[in-house]
Amino acid sequence: MKESQIESKLVRMVRERGGLCFKFVSPSNPGVPDRIIITPDGRTVYVELKTETGQLRHIQEWQISEMRKRGADVRVAKGLDAVKALVMDLFPPKEDST
């Protein structure tokens, strides 16, 4: 599956759960993560997407490291299964209160 297809599925899954999923573009700052997710409760997570065999470039590793040093929640999701797991982590099923 292509990275663009994985990205489309992430966007759909996040929106279905009431979250926002913005494309992250930062001119003059190469290597920033692909997406910014904001959950309904205000949690912000940056996500770098890769295919199952994709590898981070050096600049991506550096950007992620710099963001994490400053307390940012940055995730790397490789493949569709990792995206599904990420979405489940960020949007856990609500417990039944009956």
Q: Residue 52 belongs to what domain range?
A: 3-90
CATH number of the CATH domain containing 27: 3.40.1350.10
Backbone phi, then psi, for 48, in 5-degree steps? -100, 125
Q: How many domains is the chain built from?
A: 1
Amino acid letter, residue 74: V
pTM of the model: 0.92
pLDDT of residue 94: 79
Q: Are 51 and 7 in contact (CB under 8 A)?
A: no
Residue 14 domain-assigned (yes or no): yes
pLDDT of residue 45: 98
Name the nearest CA neighbour of 39 among 23, 18, 22.
18
Give the strand order in the sheet containing 20-23: 20-23, 35-38, 44-50, 74-78
Residue 97 domain-assigned (yes or no): no
Q: What is the pLDDT along the chain (98 residues), one digit of tens a residue?
A: 899 999 999 999 999 999 999 999 999 999 999 999 999 999 999 999 999 999 999 999 999 999 999 999 999 999 999 999 999 999 998 776 65
